[in-house]
Structure 1
């Protein structure tokens, strides 16, 4: 067997036996919640302040306090936060009839028996049901969902998202949220806080919003035309100067995420209310510290420079420069100027020796090189499939 075949076939065997680490986006139960360069998952700490920032913050409330709308225990008999359900192919899908059927995905939806519902099964609030389908890698979300009794359901609206893609909803369409956005990607979860970092923007609400929406939002729900009010989809962040050192460990992780990834205005509701998942492991006393923050601690961000296509959630990310691989004297190059760095040994051409280098140093590339430069198949991660694609193109 030639060296070429050994690398190709042997590599496939190693993948099945050992697997390779990947550049991870936010993941739940092994499912990436959109690719790493999806707008939900992209840092905005270096983006410019929006020209309307002062107006937007003032309209929401400069002295109004931040409110973590999640925690342990119950509030008025209901869990605190928005839960989600993990489902798979064993869950039969149900027919759902919608009030806003012209702006809802018809389904069917994998509603499990006794699903976790926002506010609990007897709630008359928003009654969101979020379902992460691990076999399909899809997210199903319902607003104001009620069982009918014959195995079917009714809901105000519903949306389905392929978590491997960047597709946004049709413009002007609602979702399970007023902004026409997905909900689960913006929820604060205990597991990520316990791990020490939140790597996505956070969903939040405001009482009064503008009759307008900006990317990535697709829908608005207001009659206010005054431009001093924020549109749906507006992104905010905690000011970089804010000192987080005096806060509890759970609160500090949330605050650092609000600095780096910010929060996206997704619905009408309480001013500065950030959304999360109920969990008995939350320390409510720790989270209480978040209420010390005021609107004046935040600023609106202009993220228009991230938009590649108005109908896509993929964000334009400025990658750091590539660096030389171990044992190489020069950094990889991009011979055909397509943004992909296939010349790993920097000799000016793409050849089998580059495939060997990619195979030998995949782990190192994942850890040290910019994602976009080596994600040849554009699926949001660097993995063995990119080596195969590079080989096939020789």
Structure 2
């Protein structure tokens, strides 16, 4: 189901269309709620019915409240970075750290050269965007269903079955609902519960006979600053590298707001990643099979500061590129389409509105990147030891 609406010039009436798959759109008009004058808070995505907008602070009970964003100073790879936190996680974590001031790694040149020689990005060396992953949001009426382990469940990497939120009208990756061909697809299910401050994620999930079955199910605490090794050394998650997937997906709403406050997830073909190792912030690797000079799982690429942003085809593309310059990209999985964005099925804005399609970043080459924040390699054993 999708709701699209806009306020009139006096902010007294909202009108728009309510639509659902295979149903004719229904027009509506309504007065705004007590907290709805159209003054959108770009950080929180909330609005307040006040004489002036709340700027960059959230509206809570129709009052402008101090933002929960905080400023922290963290040491990364011998350099100090100061970061104002925003986005999905409230605490400092590798994916929301500003790395724009870090010097390139001593291995940067050799890693970039090796990846270029191996063929560069996947899919014909194109920095293409995949929009297949949905990010759902649980609300106060969302139903929870305890999932069931499917054959090959990842233990102890993933959690024992627990109640998992299933928002009405939601969908698994690449699907229109909660069923998915787990034999042929990854079938990720990602749900944010803002009230509980949790991110729920599964891998290889589907509804079967009124049961949710998955090969991995877990949740992330959105208030926690995770330790080195995240949920545990040698431990995977719903993502091969052990990352929280939703925290690394850029969205049409972020691009519309002009700011992506986190690193971006990227993937490479297995034979273009260094075999047998990973580096933090990853805690695991999938099946990398490439040579010793290629990028390892968990590596952070950063777009060069002198990249000519004006050559990109839209302001939306430049917003994404600026996030690559500030937060970088983290190598998270094996595959052919390099970048992963959230679908616009469950967002306010659409990719068309912000001028983004799968080809928008074709102008960025591997040689436009540099490697930063590169720690020591960790031999890959697949023997997961969970952190408390």
Equivalent residue of 1:291, what SS? coil
Structure-2 change in CA distance of 1:119 and 1:18 (3 Å):
closer
User: By percentage of residues, which structure has more strand?
Assistant: 2
- For the 8 Å contact 1:129–1:142, the answer to whether it is kept is yes
Q: Pairwise mapping of residues 192-271 of structure 1 onto structure 2 (< 5 A)? A: 192-208=254-270, 209-210=273-274, 211-222=276-287, 224=289, 226-247=291-312, 248-270=314-336
Normalising by the residue count of structure 1, what TM-score does the alignment of the two structures yield? 0.64
Aligned to 1:388: none
Among 127, 140, 154, the alignment partner of 2:213 is 154
Q: Corresponding residue for 2:49? A: none
Shift of 1:17: 7.7
Query: Hey, what's the Cα distance between the residues in 2 that align with 1:85 and 1:234?
Result: 28
Other structure's SS at 1:67 match? coil
Question: Counterpart of 1:43?
Answer: 98
Q: Following TM superposition, by how much is the alpha carbon of 1:115 offset from its aligned partner in structure 2, in angstroms?
A: 2.7
2:282 maps to 1:282: no
Instruction: For residue 59 of structure 1, report the CA deviation from its aligned partner.
Output: 4.1
When structure 1 is superposed on structure 2, of 251-260 and 120-129 the one drifting more is 120-129
Alignment-derived partner of residue 37 in structure 2: none
Contact 1:157 1:174 in 2 (8 A): no
Partner of 2:164: 109
Aligned to 1:385: none
Q: How many residues align?
A: 278
Counterpart secondary structure, 1:192: helix
Q: What secondary structure, in the 3-state scheme, does the structure 2 residue paired with 1:237 have?
A: strand
How far did 1:114 drift? Answer: 4.5
Q: Work out whether 1:176 is the aligned partner of 2:238.
A: yes
1:32 shift after superposition: 5.0
Alignment of 1:266-345 (within 5 A): 266-270=332-336, 273-279=338-344, 281-283=350-352, 286-287=356-357, 288-302=359-373, 304=375
Larger relative CO (CA 8 A, sep 6+): 1 or 2?
A: 1
The Cα offsets for residues 335-356 of structure 1, whole Å up to 9 and x where unpaired, read as xxxxxxxxxxxxxxxxxxxxxx
TM-score, scaled relative to structure 2: 0.65
Q: Is the 8 A contact 2:92 2:225 kept in 1?
A: no
1:317-360 residue CA offsets vs partner (Å, 9 max, x unmatched)? xxxxxxxxxxxxxxxxxxxxxxxxxxxxxxxxxxxxxxxxxxxx
Q: Partner of 1:215: helix, strand, or coil?
A: coil
Question: RMSD of aligned C-alpha atoms?
Answer: 2.8
Against the structure 1 CA distance between its residues 223 and 42, is the aligned structure 2 distance closer, same or farther, given a 3 Å change threshold? closer
Give the gaps of 5 or more residues in structure 2. 1-59, 71-85, 377-385
What per-residue deviation string (whole Å, max 9, x for no partner) do you get for residues 92-133 of structure 1?
Answer: 322223321322112221123443211114454111100001
Moved more, 51-60 or 289-298: 51-60
Matched, 1:185 2:247: yes
CA contact (8 A) 1:88 1:136 kept: no
Which has the larger share of helix?
Answer: 1
